[in-house]
Amino acid sequence: MNKKLPNIILLGAPGSGKGTVAAKLAEELGYLHYSTGQMFREFSSGESELSIKIKNLMSSGKLIDDDTTNEMIATYIKKALDTHQPFILDGYPRTTNQAKFLAKICDIDLVICINIDQDDLIKRITGRVFCPNCDMIYNTFFKKPLHEGFCDKCNTPLVSRKDDNKETIITRLKVYNELTKPLITFYEAKNKLVNVFADNKSNHVFGDIKKLIEK
């Protein structure tokens, strides 16, 4: 692609696949993929005053406030702008306050919201198991291993995350929906939001999003 790639925000509930899509776009199109979770882990390993603050907040289990999050994000955005590299934001902004801050420091060209049926989403997460040895990921509903409970690649017993249960994901979805509705309204008003619909029967989401970018 010769034309300038748009700077993108990916919105989507936990388990919607936005991280996977962002990673593919980074690999195929050369995007910088900024995942909030990864940025927090990376930044907290530093020795700056902000890094130490984030490290302390994370270790105490407290939520990281908007101002701290914004300050961290700004350092990454500056790097992208200085090097003229297009970027994808995955997990940020989470609030309209964060979105307003972001609008002050850079232009966002496209906001893509990945939508998926809640029942399918719950199955994606509650059925998720992985290999602790080689990191292969399976799903007991949609991508079963050949031998139940064991990795196809290395035959290691599969495990699941403790928080991949129905009660936890319903709570996480409730929080996500409460936070995201104002964001959707915010970006709809700016004519930047596009909805993409996902399911568990095909792998069309990446193709749909790639077409949006190519337009």
Q: Which residues are catalytic?
A: 18, 94, 128, 161, 172
Give the three-state DSSP class for 199.
Answer: coil
For 9-47, what is the HEC assignment?
A: EEEECCCCCHHHHHHHHHHHHCCEEEEHHHHHHHHCCCC
Task: Evaluate the CA torsion angle 84, 20, 189, 5 in order and state its sign.
Answer: positive
CB-based burial, 81-106: b 16+ in 10 Å, e otherwise? eeeeebbbbbbbbbbbebbebbeeeb
113 CB-side CA count, 13 A: 18
Asked if 1 and 102 touch (Cβ cutoff 8 Å), the reply is: no
Give the three-state DSSP class for 130.
Answer: strand
Strand pairing report for 128-130 and 137-139: antiparallel
Q: Which two tokens stand for residue 146?
A: 């050949």
